[in-house]
Chain A
Amino acid sequence: QITLKESGPTLVKPTQTLTLTCSFSGFSLSTSGEGVGWIRQAPGKALEWLALIYWDDDKRYSPSLQSRLTITKDTSKNQVVLIMTNMDPVDTATYYCAHTNYFEGDYFDYWGQGTLVTVSS
């Protein structure tokens, strides 16, 4: 059974750096094909894909946010970390991590519950 859970600060100040951690179980990022992505959703808005990392350390970023994002994995801890720099109030959103498998379709089949991050001074 695949589960994921996001953790991190609920409140950050403008210009600060956000660090979110996705802790997962039920799969390993050392297994061929596995991947974890980050998606966010501003209040009342649509979903927005941010970044994704695969088992082989291949990393993909949203072009519009690429300069501010870094995604890394710690295979031994079953964790994926997303770093977003220079936070702004428009980055206020619920941040989700989700599982994918490159060879089985590359879509997000399991999602974490999400964590709400508010950007405010």
Chain B
Amino acid sequence: EVVLTQSPDTLSLSPGERATLSCRASRSFGSSHLVWYQQKPGQAPRLLIYGVSSRATGIPDRFSGSRSGTDFTLTISRLEPEDFAVYYCQQYGTTPQWTFGQGTKVEIK
């Protein structure tokens, strides 16, 4: 099983600032099989990034994803008020299961 560990648990930032969220895998898996979701209170997760760095349909370009070995990063270049939410990474390269990180909450400072 691949365990995904996200850090930090909470990120306190102001609108306009840059957010850097980390997701570390316990071991390597499918070369680009990592996604990021955004979840707001009372809502279902929304796909932001797939294949490590590809933005899903309708996702603004302030969101970007990258990888270095087993370390994955979601960057929000300039936080907008609607970006304050919880973000989850998920791997889908190792069947028979898919696993999620524990989430990072981006809150208004």
Contacts and interface: CB of A to CB of B under 8 A. Distances in A.
A49 B97 contact: yes
B44 A60 contact: no
B44 A109 contact: no
A70 B43 CA distance: 26
B56 A109 contact: yes
Interface in B33-55: 33, 35, 37, 43-47, 50-51
A46 B44 contact: no
Interface residues of B, number: 24
Contacts of B44: 96, 111-114
B100 A47 contact: yes
Given A47-B88, A107-B35, A109-B56, A60 B95 contact: yes
Contacts of B1: 63
B51 A105 contact: yes
Given A46-B102, A47-B90, A109 B96 contact: no
Nearest to B86: A46
B50 A107 contact: yes
B5 to A, nearest CB: 11
Contacts of B47: 107-110
Interface in A37-72: 37, 46-49, 52, 60-63
21 contacts: A46-B102, A47-B88, A47-B90, A49-B98, A49-B100, A52-B98, A60-B95, A60-B97, A61-B96, A62-B97, A63-B1, A63-B97, A96-B44, A105-B50, A106-B92, A107-B33, A107-B35, A108-B90, A109-B50, A109-B56, A111-B46
Interface of A: 37, 46-49, 52, 60-63, 96, 105-114
Given A105-B33, A107-B35, 19 more contacts: A37-B98, A46-B88, A46-B103, A47-B100, A48-B100, A49-B99, A60-B95, A61-B97, A96-B44, A105-B51, A106-B33, A106-B92, A107-B50, A108-B47, A108-B90, A110-B47, A111-B44, A113-B43, A114-B44
